[in-house]
Every structure is written in C-alpha cells, then in structure tokens.
Amino acid sequence: MTADYQQMNGIALAYMGDAIYEVYIRRHLLEEGLTKPTKLHHTATHFVSAKAQAFLIEKMQEQELLSATEEEFFKRGRNAKSHTSAKNTAIMTYRISTGFEALFGYLYLSGQEERLDQLAQWCITTVEREGKK
C-alpha cells in the first residue's frame, strides 16, 4: 500500500474501513444463504448502521479488546471533523461509528489481516448474539 496510514486523517481511514467492514458483512450474509436484495440490505443494517457500530465499540471497550494503538486509531476517527452528518442518528453515535470504521481502515491499510478477520468475526458474533434483543 503506497498510502501512509500513519499520516492519514480519521475520515480517510473511516472511508476505507467502511468498505472493508461492509465486505465482511456481505460475505457473511451470503454464506448464511441470504440472496434476496431487500432481505440482504435489511439484515446488513443490523451490522453496519452507526448505532450498531457504536454498540460494538462500546462492547469492545468493555471487554478491553482493543490494543492501545487500535484505541488511538478509533479515537482519530471519532474525533475527526466531518463535514457530513448521519441521517436519523445522534451526532455522538455517528462520530463513534466513524471511529469504528477508522479502526477497520487502519487494520486493513497496515496489513493486519488476521486481526481484521478476528475483529470482524467478533462483531458478527456479537451482533447475532446481543444485537437482536
């Protein structure tokens, strides 16, 4: 990767992380046998909405799942000045979800595929276990 993730702002990291996390979720849903576009989209929102991502970060922090460096990249995304805002979402929830995406962007751009796989699987399991209460 030619881009230096160390120097990237939180919004750029989140831009990449959003796409990476989405691929994990889409692959998971297809592996679960979902094929209808409406059902795929509706189910995906349980995993990829700002609210879901903020919930997942909260759980990660409760369980002390993140390393100090991962926490730093999460904060870089959370604290980044965005010129957009989420539809139907509180500003703080949106900012936390941006941090979540920045974390995934950092892991991807720094080549940490094993850690990325591990966290994505943890997220999927957590949403399926706790997110559908």
Residue of 17, 18, 29, 96 marked catalytic: 18
Q: Is 18 a catalytic residue?
A: yes
Number of neighbours of residue 17 by Cβ within 10 angstroms: 27
Q: Provide the token pair at 127.
A: 């949403």
Torsion of CA 9, 13, 15, 19, to 10 degrees: 180
Q: Provide the token pair at 56.
A: 């997942």
Q: Annotated catalytic sites, by residue?
A: 18
